[in-house]
A and B are shown apart, each in its own frame.
Chain A
């Protein structure tokens, strides 16, 4: 077994400040204008190609900014065998761009070789806990580094679940040795959709394991007389999630915080303003420490 470098030991390259998701629409502007953004997050799968302008561009951006690499397709919770090709592509992208942080999702996406390419929820059972923890540990071993695992938005719960989501997330981190990427919008969406207390979830998170935060916008749909919140990443962060961010910063201290905005993508200036707002919230709480 190779030595696993803790994410915290590498995190110096991704500062405890706000970053934004790098999207192709902004590649040219980021390269040319050198905007004052703390760091960028790139989706790993967008850089799986062997070459081309997107990769050249990320290499140039990487030379000037800290980078977090965020995967969406490893299907960690799936009972299908681990996709060796996907893992090899991920390993190659990590070697190429040397990101400060590498993250994936606490979800699954495939069965019998067919992929949904969506972040599907796991049942919170001992069986699923053992399975996904083993998989995460295996991936960390293969990559030779600790990864961060993100809680996902969910729209349903399974009758067979034996524990709460927050117990499941905390136990996965404890068993696999992974860090936690706590997505506060996902937490808010799930809390609304399933009627649990977001504050209780925050309190259950192991402080040392939480290494990164995500903030995003969501939307809501009326259905069957109820309301489901959907994790659409298509707008600004709502006030309730900003409140959750303050609570998270109080509990976990300043952390790398990503503004996610993936559809209806706004100008770089608007994304930068949202990131500046996150930095300002952190300064309000920790000005004395600066």
Chain B
């Protein structure tokens, strides 16, 4: 009777059962639709199941190589398998499949001594985004020169499409650097040595990291949210003052910030915001 049932499956029904078999390892629902012989349906299906796992793992590893090196092959494979089941690929291109991998790792290690893994993964995700973001023409200074002094407050400065901001209580950048360079010597990194606050920006086909002060971070973060210049400066100064009060060295030079980040290629253009007047 099963062969009669199988021959009556429509194409959508066959694809539903087949995909369930190889993604969820529930092969019993499809075996009758597969020609047997010396090599049985289960073993034949296992080739596809293995391909799915191998392809997914490879795609994840290509974006998170430092995580792969930090946790080792076996654990990375286990994480990739578990993550894939919770977050299956939704696209014919596997590149976006790892988008939620940093959150997955952070949740998995929220309470243990590997709490930094989620942040290192988040950094790797941002690094990939930075590396593959769109190009943008250099800042056109002549347009800025034409701006009246009174207009500055309302200007919305735009960041380069590759600009990414990263902050972590852990020294994630140092951990990442120690685990992506193939010739790097093993290095002991003190997790309590202080965290990161950095700008990632693509320059000359590579990603450049720039450490940021508290105020600088708040300034760029405000700009990235579409905050007008004056309000972004105010937010940056407030953040720096709050950090100062907490006895951190967090001076923010409001005059130097704009030219510095234009020079760094992080601020690449502007539009006029709505005047408050």
B12 A155 Cβ-Cβ under 8 A: no
A158 surroundings in chain B (CB, below 8 A) = 6, 14, 33-35
* Contact between chains at B92 and A45 (CB < 8 Å): yes
Q: Which residues of B contact A111 (CB under 8 A)?
A: 12, 15-16, 18-19
In the bound complex, CA of A108 to CA of B92 (Å): 10
Q: How far is the CA of A45 from the CA of B52 in the complex (A)?
A: 17
CB pair A128 B11 closer than 8 Å: yes
Q: Mark A153-176, 1 if CB is under 8 A from B, else 0.
A: 001111110000000000000000
Q: Are B206 and A118 in contact (CB under 8 A)?
A: no
The one of B39, B40, B132 that contacts A50, using a Cβ cutoff of 8 Å: B132
Complex Cα–Cα for A115 and B97 (A)? 10
Contact A73 B93 (CB under 8 A): yes
Interface pair A52/B133, CB less than 8 Å apart: yes
State the CA gap A149–B14 with chains docked (Å): 22
Sorting the interface of chain A by its residue count into under 10, 10 to 19, 20 to 34 or 35 or more gives: 35 or more
Q: How far is the CA of A54 from the CA of B132 in the complex (A)?
A: 8
What 1/0 mask marks residues of chain A from 101 to 128 whose CB sits below 8 Å from any chain B CB?
Answer: 0000000111111111110100101011
Report whether B131 and A52 are in contact in the complex, using a CB–CB cutoff of 8 Å.
Answer: yes
Q: Is the CB of B33 within 8 A of A224?
A: no
Identify A114's interface contact among B11, B40, B88, CB under 8 A. Answer: B88
User: Which B residues are in CB contact (< 8 Å) with A74?
Assistant: 92
Whole-angstrom distance between the Cβ of B18 and the nearest chain A Cβ: 7
Other-chain contact of A230, B11, B39, B47 (Cβ < 8 Å): B47
**Per-residue CB proximity of B10-39 to A under 8 Å, as 1/0?**
111011101100110000000011110111
Kindly list chain A residues whose C-beta atoms are within 8 Å of the C-beta of B91.
73, 83, 85-86, 115
Interchain CA distance A113-B16 in the complex, whole Å: 11
Q: Residue A146 at the B interface, CB < 8 A?
A: no
CB distance from A262 to the nearest CB of B (A): 10
Any A CB within 8 A of the CB of B143 = no
Min Cβ gap A256→B in Å is 24
Is A224 in contact with B134, judged by CB distance below 8 angstroms?
A: no
Q: CB-CB contacts of B113-134 with A at 8 A, as 1s and 0s?
A: 0000000000000000001111
Given A50-B161, A159-B33, A224-B39, A113 and B93 touching (CB < 8 A)?
no
Count of A-B contacts judged by CB separation below 8 Å: 144
Bitwise interface map of B from 25 to 66 toward A, beta carbon under 8 Å scored 1, else 0:
000000011110111110111011001100110010000000
Q: CA–CA, A157 to B40, complex, Å?
A: 11
Known: A116-B23, A118-B51. Contact between A83 and B92, CB under 8 A?
yes
Q: Which residues of B contact A118 (CB under 8 A)?
A: 22, 48, 51-52, 55
Contact A226 B39 (CB under 8 A): yes
A223 in the interface (beta carbon within 8 A)? yes
CB closest residue in chain B, given A156: B44
For B271, what are the chain A residues with a Cβ–Cβ distance below 8 Å? none
Central interface residue in A112, A128, A155, by most chain B CB within 10 Å = A155
Contacts of B211 in A (CB 8 A): none
- Say which size band chain B's interface belongs to: 35 or more
Which residues of B in the span 66-97 have a Cβ within 8 Å of any Cβ on A? 88-95, 97
Assess whether A89 is in contact with B93, with CB atoms less than 8 Å apart. yes
Whose C-beta in chain B lies nearest to the C-beta of A222? Answer: B39
Q: Which residue of B has the minimal Cβ distance to A74?
A: B92
| Cα A45 to Cα B93 with chains together (Å) | 6
- Inter-chain CA distance A87–B19, complex, in Å, is 22
Would you call A157 and B52 a contact (CB within 8 A)?
A: no
Residues of chain B lying within 8 A (CB to CB) of residue A108: 15
Q: Which residues does chain A contribute within 8 Å of B34, judged by CB atoms?
A: 156-159
Q: Specify which chain B residues have a CB less than 8 angstroms from the CB of A109 in the assembled complex.
A: 92
A117 near B19 with CB under 8 A, answer no
A79 to B14, CA, bound (A): 10
Q: Choose among B14, B40, B51, B162 the residue that contacts A224 (Cβ–Cβ < 8 A).
A: B40
> Taking the complex as formed, is A49 at the interface, i.e. its CB lies under 8 A from any CB of chain B?
yes
- Taking a contact as CB atoms under 8 Å apart, the answer to whether A155 and B89 are in contact is no
> How far does the Cβ of A24 sit from chain B's closest Cβ, in whole Å?
9
Judge whether A211 is part of the interface by a CB distance below 8 angstroms: no
- In the complex, which of the residues A45, A89, A128, A155 contacts B44, with contact meaning CB atoms closer than 8 Å? A155
Since A72-B92, A223-B43 are in contact, a sample of 18 more A-B pairs with Cβ atoms closer than 8 Å, ordered by chain A residue number, is A51-B132, A52-B132, A53-B131, A73-B94, A74-B92, A83-B91, A111-B12, A111-B19, A114-B19, A114-B90, A115-B92, A116-B52, A117-B56, A117-B94, A118-B51, A158-B35, A159-B34, A159-B35
Which B residues lie at the A interface, using CB under 8 A? 3, 6-7, 9-12, 14-16, 18-19, 22-23, 32-35, 37-41, 43-45, 47-48, 51-52, 55-56, 59, 88-95, 97, 131-135, 161-162, 202, 205-206
Task: Please list 16 pairs of residues, one from A and one from B, whose beta carbons are closer than 8 Å in the complex, sorted by A's number.
Answer: A45-B94, A50-B132, A50-B135, A52-B205, A79-B11, A89-B93, A113-B90, A115-B91, A116-B89, A117-B55, A117-B89, A158-B35, A159-B3, A223-B39, A224-B39, A228-B47
